[in-house]
Amino acid sequence: MDTLQSYLTVLAVAFALLVISFTSLRHRSIRISIPSFWDLGFGALTPFTYLVIGLPRGDPEGLIANVLLANLPQLLLSLTYVCYNATLSAFLVQREFGLMHREDKRRTLRVSEPVGLQRSSYTISLPLRYGIPLYAASGLIHWLISQSLFLARITALQDQHGTVDVRDSFSTCGYSPIAVLATVLAGLIQVLALVILGFHKYDGVMRIVSTNSRAISAACHALEEDRKEGYLLPLRWGVVEIKEGGVGHCTFTTAPQDGPGVEPGTGVRAPTPGEALPVTPN
């Protein structure tokens, strides 16, 4: 929720600033409508769309201040992207972990330096089917922001010969209302995508651990026969033995699926609904 709140807060601030600019546009007899905004240009500077907010106007102070202002939204987007990526990564880690009780999801470990059958970690920290769209969306929003708020240099001329009036020339920031609207819309779509992913159903067989190392460790107290080379082979989580009192011991194991042809007590199976399982291993 913190990620969504921070993302929505940034979008709300951007939209609020756009609404504030409407007052200035109305004073210049510009209609507040999509066609009017489009006529002003996408990422284009006009005499009606540059900021007058009390920043230094002379160089180099004015240039430096406006460069920092124009790039501030890029910094905010980068920070929210880190939070977004972390949230999505945690969600996908839990999803992959939470499906390993199924025989068809038996997998080798994913590690930074794989050995044998082990799998390598994701190059971009996410599966490609999620990482590529996220990278593309982030790049698009960065570009939209660059068209929404940008550095502008206003050069005044003294005469028809093009002599520059240094005193009345200044640096400022220009903005494009239609680009700001496009940026807010793209950001909302990205937030909506994360919300939709959050509606994936959780079957509840394995406990929710995400990236909590203690909870992951509690699910990994291996059997003696798996301690030597089990980490190199495909693993599945499930019930491997029933202790006194009918309490099951669950862990990751290389043991085969319980069923015909498997010696009783040597296979693995998914817990049944209502079966007594310890919260943490003994």
Q: Residue 177: is the preceding peptide bond cis (ω within 30°)?
A: no
DSSP-derived pairing of the beta strands 119-120 and 110-111: parallel
Distance of alpha carbon 279 from its chain centroid, rounded? 31
Q: What percent of the chain has pLDDT over 90?
A: 5
Q: Are 137 and 126 spatial neighbours (Cβ–Cβ below 8 Å)?
A: no
- Which of 30, 70, 29 has the alpha carbon at shortest distance from 53? 70
The reported pLDDT for the residue numbered 141 is: 92
Report the C-alpha gap between 72 and 36 in whole angstroms: 27
User: What pLDDT score does 263 carry?
Assistant: 65
DSSP E strand boundaries for the chain: 110-111, 119-120, 149-157, 164-175, 236-242, 248-253
Residue for token digits 């107290």? 221
What is this structure's pTM?
A: 0.78
Q: How far apart are CA 97 and CA 178, in angstroms?
A: 43
Query: pLDDT at residue 39 above 50?
Result: yes
By residue count, the chain amounts to: 282
Q: pLDDT tens for residues 121-164?
A: 877 778 888 889 999 999 999 999 999 888 888 777 877 777 77
Residue 55, pLDDT > 90, answer: no
Closest by CA position to 177, among listed 37, 282, 17, 53: 37
**CB neighbours of residue 104 within 10 Å:** 6
